[in-house]
């Protein structure tokens, strides 16, 4: 297979809809540009929101983008846990939703530096095999714990069964793990920011055009404004 083109080069801000995989969106953008295309972090199929896709020569910027903080808006059902921590899994346990004071206590324990088990339905390798593949076969394993930083965790709404949260977290944080720590599962998840980049500036995969690519220089300027040193 011939190598992918290095032009057009730049970073695409794409608003992924709920449903398709991130890799399907990457493939769509690749077909539109004809260039080498990568990403700076994926989203689960059920999730929506901001993807940073790197085109052509801009794929070299990946190391400076994958570690950026991320902001999410999520709705969590506090009355049920699922096998995947999201609506795609089977319900494994049901419980009464916490009172507002009890919920406030749980949220407070999740602010700052936290250690949470990685969800079983994740791409982390356990004994050389992806965890989600083991989970699909019904193989239960002890998932490793990951240390994350929850920089902010704001309660937007609480219905008595479902809570809506706005979170700013360090890279690699599983919002599904936070939902499980609260006793429930994510029913909706939307990524609204990656570092200095906002979903408000993104377009749908169908509306993307190569001329919408941010130049490498523009991307580096935004990173510098956030204190990320220029490569």
Q: Is 44 a catalytic residue?
A: yes
Contact 25, 45 (CB under 8 A): no
> Taking the alpha carbons of 142, 145, 146, 152 in that order, is the dihedral positive or negative?
positive
Cα–Cα distance for residue pair 74/164, rounded to 1 Å: 6
Helix (H) or strand (E) holding 77: strand 70-77
| Angle (nearest 5°) at CA 215 between 70 and 220 | 55
Q: Show Cβ contacts of residue 158 under 8 Å, excluding neighbours closer than 6 positions.
A: 100, 103, 164
Instruction: Name the 3-class secondary structure at 81.
Output: strand
| Angle (nearest 5°) at CA 105 between 141 and 75 | 65
Catalytic annotation, pick one of 44, 154, 166, 201: 44
Q: Quick one: 101 exposed, middle or buried, by C-beta within 10 A (0-12, 13-18, 19+)?
A: exposed
User: Which positions are catalytic?
Assistant: 44
């Amino acid at each position: 297979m011939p190598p992918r083109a290095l032009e057009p080069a730049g970073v695409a801000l794409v608003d992924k809809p709920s449903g398709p995989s991130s890799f399907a969106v990457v493939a769509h953008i690749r077909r539109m540009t004809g260039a080498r295309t990568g990403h700076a972090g994926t989203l689960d199929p059920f999730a929506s929101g901001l993807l940073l896709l790197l085109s052509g020569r801009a794929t070299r910027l990946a190391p400076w983008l994958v570690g950026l903080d991320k902001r999410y808006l999520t709705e969590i059902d506090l009355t049920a846990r699922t096998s995947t921590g999201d609506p795609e899994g089977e319900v494994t346990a049901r419980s009464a939703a916490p009172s507002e004071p009890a919920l406030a206590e749980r949220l407070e324990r999740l602010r700052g530096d936290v250690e949470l088990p990685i969800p079983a339905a994740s791409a982390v390798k356990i004994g050389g095999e992806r965890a989600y593949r083991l989970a699909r076969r019904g193989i239960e394993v002890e998932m490793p714990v990951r240390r994350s930083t929850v920089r902010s965790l704001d309660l937007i709404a609480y219905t008595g069964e479902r809570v809506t949260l706005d979170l700013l977290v360090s890279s690699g944080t599983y919002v599904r793990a936070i939902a499980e720590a609260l006793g429930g599962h994510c029913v909706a998840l939307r990524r609204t920011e990656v570092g200095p980049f906002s979903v408000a500036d993104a377009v749908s995969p169908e509306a993307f055009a190569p001329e919408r690519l941010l130049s490498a220089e523009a991307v580096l300027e935004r990173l510098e404004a956030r204190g990320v040193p220029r490569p």
